[in-house]
Structure formats: C-alpha cells, structure tokens
Structure 1
C-alpha cells in the first residue's frame, strides 16, 4: 500500500511540470517515506481494567486487581517488551463503573480502525452469575457500581462485553479475563443461586455459556467453575503474574525473539496449574488464529523452531508426544527440533493419531490438520429404512408407510469448518393397497424417489459424531392403478424444505455405522385439492470413509 501511494504521487508530480501555470495544476511535494510508513503501520492498543473496590459492601474488596492491571500496563508499554503505542489503564473508582468501562470500549473501537491493529482488552475483577430477565443464567463482570441485589441491571454482562469486543475492526484482538464465576476466590454468587447450583451435577460447569468470536482470542485465568486466586506472596492474581513473566521472554518457546499471545497464555497456564497444584487451570477460546499474529512482547528477529499446537476443543485433554516423548497436554503447543518427527496424540492407553511429519524451521503445524489427514473426511453410506407420511389421511390416500433403500454422501468440513455437505438419494417401489372405504381394498403399484441436499452442523467427540441442520429434497411419486373403476397412473413432483439429523460411530479408520432421519414438509394435490403434508424417513446402515 505504501509503495502504491508513493508511485501514484510520484507520477502525478512528474506530470505537473514546474512551468505549468494552468488553473488546477499540481504542485510538487516532498514525501517523507518514514512518516508515510508510520502513518500506515498497524497500531498496538491496550485497554486494561483493574477493579479492587466496590460500592456495595456485599462484594469483597480485592487486594491486587488494580496492581494486576498496572503491572501488565508497564510490561506492554515497555519499549523492550510490549512496545504498545497506547495503553489505557482504568483503575480509579470513577473509571471502573459500568458506564465508564463501556465508554472506554467504544472509544477503543473508534481508535483501532485498521484490521491489522493489535488490540488487547484485560479485566481483573470479581465475576458472578445471575439470571437475566428471561430467567437464563448469564455471566457478569462485577463493576465498581454493581449492586449485589440487582446484578443483571448494574453489572457488566459477558454478552454485552463480547458484543463490544466483536465490533472491534481488528482481526488481531485478545480478551483476557482474570476473573471467575465459581462462587469463591475472585467471585461471589447470590446465596439463592449458590443453593440452586449446589444441586446441579458437575456437568453444569463443563463449558462456558458463550462461544468465542471469530478471529479472536479469549483467555481466562481459570476453567469454567474453577476459582481464580490472588496470592499474597506473588502480590498479583496468579495467572496475571505468570502472564507478565512470560512477556519478559520466558514464554518464547520457539526462540524467534517474540512472545505471541498463545505462547504467553501457554506459559501462564502451565505455571498457574503447577503453582496451584492443579486447582486452577487457565483456559483459552481461540478461533482462526492462523499464524498467531498477536505479538505481545519483543519482535520476530529470526526464524523460530517448528511448533505443533492445537486449541480446538475436540482435542482438549489429549497428550502430544513427539518421538515417543510427552511434550504437552492440549490445549497448547510445543516447539520441536526441525526434521522428520513421529507425532502422536494419546489419551490414557489409546492413541488417536500417530503420524510421521516433516517440519522445517518456522513451521506452525495445527494438530487438527493431522487429525483430518488421518481420518478421511468423506463418507459414502448404503442405508435401509422406512418412508412415511406424517398424517394418517396421507398414508391412507397417497401411500402407506413403505420400506426404502438410500445412498448418502457426506463431505465433512465442507463448505465450512464443522459443517457437512450431505447428498442422499433414496427410493422404493412395489405394490400396496389403499383403504379408501372400510372393507374395500384398492391395489396399486408405486415408484418413489427422493433426492436430498443438506448442510448440517457437526459435533464430534473422538469416534462419535452428531449432525443436524437444514435440508431440501425433491420428491417424485408415481402410482399406477389397474381396477375396474380406473386404469391409469398419477404422478407427483415437489420440492420440500425440512431438517435432517444423524449419528455416526467410527468403527475404524475406514468403516462407520451411521443412522439418519429427516422430517420434511411438501405440497401435493389429491383428487384435485392441494394440501401441505409432512413426510419423514429414517435410515441406518454402513458407511465407508475415503
């Protein structure tokens, strides 16, 4: 972009000769290439919030939240470390109300206008849970003016925070939450909600209530339902202390001279886990990281060692082994020597993936790619099942429930990640009887074909996959009668919208058991009258992955 501007301006200046006296003639300009480069360079901006004191006495004051934000600000502003162009710190009472924080987020949105700007938003505060006006359980950050008895109206809802965060134009954005929602540590729950959650089984705390935004990173000081702790010896929030430690260079695992966001988080996660003896496990929600462009400290001044990494929830809890040696537990990453390596993903005694890979200096290999290459993402299935109209009158007047065979082609992660393109062809033929009048049977022959296209969403857990989503199908039905009252045929052809769902169980690398069901709505004409009817079909069979 900079070179293009210089070329255009240079051409315009050359075209305007010094002797030109015509109205509107161009004036030669002297361009400072350094100044122009600085004007188009991406900016590095941070908004850090530390809330230690609260107006409502029900909230316990925190000892180090303000210091957490101040210490991180020093690391990010340091010319030898973060080199951030602008770091705004909110820690004074008037700066940490809900209104002031939202105003600062909106000001940040007006300042971070370029897609390649680096933006960091950090919160160190209490967290809590409460039910909103619709009775849904939501997460909240406790601002200075949050009222214990009116959390939804006075605290900063995580949904609202994420909505503001999502509107940042930058593709390189990081949200760090040094808080928790477990009811202890940097958290407090209303007593009635704490009593309610006591009776809920532990699965309630299995995952966050929100999904992370596209092209963004969200780091949390602890996993969902765990406690984020301050430590008197460290004089900081534990996770924040080790995050700052990582920015000093300790987190540069690939030795390229820079500490990226994921490197800093992985360092802080491992150190926090060890420091708390496993009671606090920082978590990360990361989408579309690509080459991890969020550099928090230092600068890339040499080619780094190869890295293997994954932050995909599908691989959480797996151990990464390289050449038989355990390197890290996922999510996370590890730097390895360049060359040909044996890479394994294991959980207990089971091995999910074992592959030989060639990695060179500077490579960053997402482990999901190995998973996709190991397990083919296309499947062709032969299925059998039943077809039936939903309402009784259609089964009487059109076609009774009948067996059918089907062939289904499923393309996983097409056209988008975690979606499938699903194509299926089904049909049946035979003879049935209509019971139009009690005691009277009308025989007929039929041929029925259906061609469907769906794009369901995929949920995957090791060998089990579930999918559900929209489907459109073309339905063709032909009936032929040969009775005294009528000899001839009838044909129907309609396009039908509906939904599809299915279950897949992988038996091995190639074979799978699969079942699928669809519910469709169509329009047919019977005896001159049109009507909307529903039909459904369910199949089960064997698939081959290729």
Structure 2
C-alpha cells in the first residue's frame, strides 16, 4: 500500500483523539432506568417521543458518515494529485470537515436534551443508536471511526446520571471507544496481514483491509462528483504561463502577493512562523503552548470568535469560559489573532454578514486582549475583494500560509511531522498552518520542533507590525523520547550465572530478566526487538552475533535507540604498556585465555561506533577498568541538539577489583535493583517525566556507593557527539486496591537508604569515570508541562510512595494531582485508598464516592467503596456498592469477593 494512503487512513471528521484500554467481554446490555409503572398512554407517548428523537439523531449520524467517507475519497493519495486539484480537494475537504463539526454539535445538543428529559425510554433510544454504530448493516470498521467524538461526548453526558441503567450505558460506551481505538491501531499497522484474534465484542472486527475499504468507497463516490457537488469543476490542464514581471517600484501590491497579504515567503532562509487555527481549545491549546515554551518558539493563535463568546444586544462582548484559555496564551507571550466569528467561507459572504464575521470577532478579541494583534486569517484561505477592503478599513492584515500540515485530516502524528518537515525542506521558509483543536497536533509538534531546532531553523514571531525572526538560541529542552525522533527501540540483555570455568553467580540471570520486563512492560520496547541471552546462550560468538547479525538483519535504523545490559563477570588485564584493559566475560571464556575468549572493551567501543542507531546506552553490572571513557556532562548545548547528535554512553557497576554486591531485594544485585528503581521513576531528578542517561547515572552512582563498596562509573564512549539516551516515563493507570502489591520490608529499607543519598542529587553530582578521574553530572532544567501532565506526574509519584508504604507523602502527591486536575478519577481513587490503608474509612468512602461521580463506570472504585462502607459500618450502602460492582463486572477479578461480602451483609 502506498504510504500516502496510510497517512490518511483514519480521518478524524468526527474523531478527535484516541481512546485507550482493553477489550471487555460479554457486555451486559443496557437496561431501562428503574421507574414506577406508567399508564399505557404515557408509555406509548414516551416511546413515540424517544423513537422520534433517535430517528432524528440517526439521520444526522448517517450524514456524518457520508461526509467522513467523502473526505477520504477527496484526500486519498493527495500527494499524487496535480497542484490545482489537490488545492480544491483540500479546500472542499476542510469545508466538509467544518460542516461535520457543526453537525456533531447538533447531535451532542440533541443527546443532551434527550438525557435530561427523564423520558423513561431515553436509554432505549440511545441503545438503538449504539446498535447502529456497533453493528449497522454495511458499516466497515473504518466507518465507525466517524462516530468517536460523538461517543466521547455521550459518555461525558451519561456520567451525570447515577442510575444503574446510565452506569451500564457508560460502560458500554467505554467498551465501544476501546473498540474504535483497536480499529485505529489495526489500520495504522496494516503491514500485518492478519488482525489478531479477539473475543466477541459489541463491535466485532471484520478484518477488512484499508485497500478494500477504499475500493468500496470509490464505488460510492468519485472525487470529481464530490467537487462538483460543492461547486467545483476542474478545468482541463492549461499550458504553463510565464512568470509575471516584477511590479514597478511604488506600484500597489496585488492580492496574493507578499505585501497585500502575508505568506511568509519574505522571511529569511531557514525561518518559520508557527500558527494555530480554530481555537481556543479547553485542553489542547495550553498543551501546545507548553511545548512551544520548551523551544522558545513564538506562535500566533487564530481564534474563532464564537469560541470566545458572543455579543449582546448592545454589541458588548460576553466572554465564555474558553476565553480564559486565550488570556493565558496572551499572558504567556503568544499572539492572538482573528479567524472570523463562525468559520464560514467568507468568499461567499457580503454586506452585514461579512462585516459581522470580521468585526464581531475583533470586538471579542479586544475584550480578551485590549492590544489584540491586527492579523486576520480567512477560513479555508477563501476571500473576496469586499472582505479584503473590510480588513483594510478595520486596519487588519490578512495572514495566509505556504506550508499546510493537513492535521485536520491526518490522524497519524508521525505522518503529520513527516509532511511538515518535507514541506519546510522544500520551501526553505514560511508560515506553517496547524490547528490547536486536535490531540494529534499535540503529539506531532515536539517531533517537528526538535528536528527544526536541530537543523538550525529559527522561529519567527509577530512584533505588532511585521514578522521578525528570533535570532536567540532556543533554551535547552530536556528531550522527550518521541521528540528526539526514536523510530524503534532495541535491547540486548545478557545474564550469566552458570559459568563452567568461573565462580558461579546467583543473581545475574534474574537481573537481565528484570530489566527485560521493565523495558517491555513499562517503556514499550517491542518484544521482537529485545534480544535476551542467558547462561549457555551468552557465548562469545552469541554475544557478538547479537550485535553484528541480529541487529543488522533486524533493520536497525539511524533514528533508533539501543539499550545494552550485561550482568556477569568482568575482568581487567594489565597490558605491557602498563594500561589496564577491561573485558566482559562470556559463558564459554577460559580464565587462562582471557585475551582470546573474553570480549575486550575496545571491541565494545568499536561496536558502539559502528551501530547506525542515534543513541546507545551500555549498562554493565560488572566491575572492571580500562574503558578510557570521555567525560560526560549535562549542558544546555547538547540537550538542544540531542536530536541530531549521536550518543554513545556507558554506566558500569564499579571499578577494578571491586566485587558486585549481590544482596539486593527480590534476587537482584544492589546495582541492578538501584538501576530499576531509577528507571521506575526515581531517576527523574528534575520531575519532568523524562530520564536521560545522565540523570540515571546521577541517581544510580552515588546511591550505589552509599550502600556498598562499589563506585559506579559513567561517561561517553569515544565517537559520541554528546547525545543523551532518553527514557520517557509512561503514565501510570493503576487504581489502588487491596490487591496492589507493595514492596517487601527489605526493599523498602534499601530504598530508604538510596533515597537519602538521591535527595542530594538535585544539584551537581560528582561521579567516577573509569580512568580513575571524576566527572560532574547535573540534571537539565525541567521541561515546562501542562497542568494535566503535572497532575499525572504527581499521581505517579504517589503510587510509587504508596508501594513503599510512605502514606503521608503519597497522600500529599495524590492531593496535589487533584488540585491540578479536579476531575482526575484515578487520583481520587488512589487518595481514597491511602486513607483506607490508614484505617480512615469515612474519609476513604468520601473519596471513593468522588471517584464514581467522576467516572461512574469504574467498577473497581465500587468495590473499594463497598469495603470502605463495611469498615465504616454502613452495611446498606456497602450492599449497594458491591451490587453495582457485580453489575458492571460480573466476571471481574473481584466478583467472587463481592459475592462473598454480599452474603455476609
């Protein structure tokens, strides 16, 4: 399949953002809410009304699907279209998209009205709509993605109803959103011939291929017909016309040229201006601003007036809650600009309507920012002479673009980034068009900015009168794994206990296995790219083949990263020159033939330099010397350039003649246990959700030295260009329950000692290098993050502290998460469970109650709530909570326990 097809495989005409989660099996159908028996006439009236409501909404859903399909046909293989046809297809596609956004708004209003009506048949009506989305005749898997935004809105509306029927319906919608997320992932990975096996669900995957779906759509529509429906007939290709002569000096600027309008083509080479349309958005606008701040990148946000508020009868601005988002953007230094009142196609407007679209939004913007900018952007880039004259009369200037991200159509962040970077390379300069109403833009932006900064591009801004390039160097953002451009993650893990000719070890294999679980389960390393060699597999030939053959044949690429872990014996041999040479000892090495049987560190260095990967990190849980590491340090320069600089780093457990301490918890060495704690989150010294290799070493080295006789060493291998390996901590999603595993007492005791030393690592840390010298490490400045990300990080820290039985500190972190994000159901549950663990059952019940108010379909919270009611001597409430749990999760892991508690009550 052509790549351009994959780029546009899942259009978000009505699907904003991806759901996440797992499939749920044997869903209980949503029943009607409990009501008193009604007279037959009233029942018939309610049934008729709900049927009419459902029919009207179903008509809108079918229209949404029709528009969704047309956009796919319009933009399929868009890169292969002639320029004129591509421009018209994109213009009509955007028009279809915005028409569908209005249609979605009408559906959401109708659903909200139906839910608030207390019609006893309202849930039956909604169920019939879900039946259509889940199993309507003729619907392809890809079709159902058109309804995701509507399902998300419906889920939020249902959450306000606490009846059991509503809770069941909420759960059903959650399952459907999970199904849609699975459909999207399957299309994104279509290179696989067959979809995985799944249990039977509400939306049963048909396993059709994208090409089959496109072929089906082309039987229904043609691009030519869709364009014609929207008033466009493409002319036959004409012979190319000569370039027009340059205007005489002093001649008036022509529309479409730099001067009458701003396209950015007059910017200096390698300079771009970032612009964002259609906001403000209550969530994504602020997240985009946080990303921009990392790169000191100015930007212009073109606001749609109706998103800011409305004018009253006297023409005064009445701002909505969304206007506060724009105020925050202004306060953060970003420029606000006018994008019309309703996002109408202004080239078709005249008179009072056209004037209102421009000037009413200007009034609203002035209410937000009295010094609002003079910039205006025509929706779809469609303008007429009257509109241009109105701008001139109002002293406004039209700003267009010459680089289109197509993020309104393309849901795949990596392909958005690829498209923008290719366009920037081709144009060399200009204005980039994004939209701050999509999650995918949030995900694509770091990849784009990281690459542009690394390649020396400048970010321009608007100074109130003209575009101005900012020649200042961008600050040093701590790079995110996604932002540094890692395509794939590889690992080679070696653990050897059963040496036939060396002393046996006890913990090396378990160390390698523990690191493997951490990489795969926490950091998302694909299992097929993790090569683990244990005992007799880890011969000299086997280890070297893993590097030279398996990585090369597996397709290691320049934008990949490689993590190498060795747990086993290390040795040092003194050469005739007096220099020490370190070795790692394979399974089959003979102590008497170290030079020929072992693997010298000089060969590891050669391997490191030969790897095509961007960054490689070698972690050696063995003690030796003789590496000749170069000094490594965290400074602003290399962090900014991390995307383009090769990184080759090594962290070792200790120096020559030091014994590895094997007395760590859970069958691990002290070094590997500390390493795993660092990767679990403790190594994030600046609290930004990222762990660089430098931060990891700054945590591990002094911590290990404080509890053992080892002195770990860290540095960059020769050939490294200063790049730093990066781990991005995933967001924790665990709801605390009685089944949550906490650390053993010996693990908690060791962690307490490690943390005492790690608390000193927030400043500069002195670490040994393997030449016996010292190197100073310092964590980079924390990356600015949104309040949502801050809340998630606080929750994750709380979870870590809970597992170490530090309840007061965990309570403080969960509280902080809720201060930052009051609707954070996960943190509310976890705070409740911290109270429960401390026998504060009344407080625990209150927070579990808050959890189910925020997310009424979260079954585990009802189980926790039942336990809290039992312990606080409220048996009737406990019975209701356990009953609800069983309704939501009749075959869940806690079902037997809930039934047992009900029998006791």
Q: Please indicate the TM-score interval, normalised by the length of the shorter structure.
A: 0.3 to 0.5
Q: Point out which structure has higher relative CO (alpha carbons under 8 A, 6+ apart).
A: 2
Higher helix share: 2
What's the TM-score once normalised by structure 1's chain length? 0.44
What's the TM-score once normalised by structure 2's chain length? 0.28
Higher strand share: 1
